[in-house]
Amino acid sequence: MATVRRSDTAPELAVRKIVCDLGIRYTLKNRDLPGSPDIANRSKRFAIFVHGCFWHRHRNCKRATTPRSNRTFWEEKFEANVRRDRRVAKVLRRLGFSVSTVWECEVARPERVASRLKKELER
C-alpha cells in the first residue's frame, strides 16, 4: 500500500541478499510494472513482493493481528490491500511474469526462502 510503504525495509534487504546470493540479477522499485514489485527481472519475467504480514494479511500468521478499536476501519483497509495484491498478481501473470511473495516472517529462515525462490525463479 503506497501510503504505508517505506523503502528498503529490513525484510526487503534480506530478500535482496537471498536473490543476489542465488546469482540472479534483478532491478528494484519497478514502478513501471503493475504493483511496483520490490524485486523484478523483466527479461526473465519474474516479480517478487516482500510483504509485511500485518498489512498484507499473511494467513494464519500471528503477526496478522487486527487492532481492537476501529475494527471496521481496519478490516476494510486490510481487505482493500489483499484485493489489490491479488489484482496486481493477476495482471503480472497475464503479462507473463511469475509472481512470488515472500512474507516478512519468513526471512527469519533465509535458507528456506532461498530454496523456494530458487525453484520459483528457475522455472
Binding site for Zn ion (CB under 5 A): 53, 58, 61, 63, 103, 105
- Of 63 and 90, CB closest to Zn ion: 63
What three-state secondary structure class fits 2? helix
- Of 43 and 60, CB closest to Zn ion: 60
**Residue where the block lists cell 503479462:** 95
Least separation in angstroms between CB 53 and Zn ion: 3
Least separation in angstroms between CB 31 and Zn ion: 26
**Residue where the block lists cell 517505506:** 6
Least separation in angstroms between CB 67 and Zn ion: 17
Q: How far is residue 84's CA from residue 100's CA, in Å, rounded to a whole number? A: 15
Task: Give me the sheet containing 39-41, strands edge to edge.
Answer: 27-28, 39-41, 46-51, 98-103
Least separation in angstroms between CB 52 and Zn ion: 8
- Of 14 and 61, CB closest to Zn ion: 61
Element spanning 28, H or E: strand 27-28
